[in-house]
Structure 1
Amino acid sequence: MGIEAPLVLVVDDDDAVRSALAFALHAEGFCVRSYASSAGLLAEPIPGQNCLLITDYRMPEVDGLELIERLRDSKPDLPVILISGLVNRALRGRAAQLGVSAVLEKPLSGPGLVETIQHIFHGSA
């Protein structure tokens, strides 16, 4: 009986970014579900374990921080990586208040993102 690959939920309104992330993560062995909007993610059940969310900050209607706020009631322990083209102290502070695991600046480097995800799932020894 094998260990199931972690599920990574990707939410980004930019088709190219979302597709590139999904492709790269799948190539690294992760199961990936991707969504073009926060509403798309919120409309589906989210597993309770072995799951991580990567969300863009700036999106129409419901931005990444609001998405995280909405999920915290039902999924308080869901690990989250917030991505943004412009990371500043205020964004990092708000993300920390919401329990975000990491804030990464776009463009993302493949190895850096994968290492961050592995650290979240496996921690440091």
Structure 2
Amino acid sequence: MHLQTFVIEDNPTIRENLIGTLEELTCVKVMGTSATEDDALRWIEKHRSEWDVLIVDLFLKQGSGMHVAQCVKRARPNQKIVVFSNYINSSVRKRCAQLGVDAVFDKSTEIDALVDYCAHQCFRVAQTQAA
């Protein structure tokens, strides 16, 4: 059982470290990545029902992670959108909540919380599949 995940992050070092950490410590399987809004939206449209979690940075090489979160139409009710960024404050958290983002984590202080969130989602998916 894997948590099918797509990572939208423009910094290659952060992207690779994040993928390595999540795949090592949780059941996350990264299906693909994107550094731009346009590429991310194309991938999401093509794979509408195949992903479980989107991990989105706010500032991308082109476009905005906030706009990605706004544009995503979930094909299944259990799909989760997670923002993972260095630019988290109360107004960003509020805007993400308004857009239906499921969780928001600060890259500099909340990596452990993101890992815990993904581990919990792994458990949730396993429970759903067992039922």
TM-score range, shorter chain: 0.7 to 0.9
Mapping of residues 1-125 of structure 1, within 5 Å? 4-28=1-25, 29-32=27-30, 33-44=32-43, 45-48=46-49, 51-72=52-73, 75=75, 77=77, 78-107=79-108, 110-121=111-122, 122=124
Structure 2: distance between partners of 1:107 and 1:75: 31
RMSD between superposed Cα atoms in Å:
2.4
Q: Does the Cα contact within 8 Å between 2:49 and 2:76 map onto a contact in 1?
A: no
> Which residue identity does 2:15 align to in structure 1?
R
Stretches of structure 2 that go unaligned for 5 or more consecutive residues are: 126-131
User: How many residues of Structure 1 are paired with residues of Structure 2 in the alignment?
Assistant: 120
Residues 1:92 and 1:61: Cα distance change in structure 2 (over 3 Å):
same
Residues 1:65 and 1:76: Cα distance change in structure 2 (over 3 Å): farther
3-state SS in 2 of match to 1:86: coil
Contact kept in structure 2, 1:12 and 1:35, CA below 8 Å: yes
- Structure with more contact order per residue of length (Cα contacts < 8 Å, sep ≥ 6): 2
Q: Which runs of 5+ in 1 are unaligned?
A: none
Q: What TM-score do you get using the length of structure 2 for normalisation?
A: 0.77
**CA shift in 2, pair 1:30/1:120, >3 Å:** closer
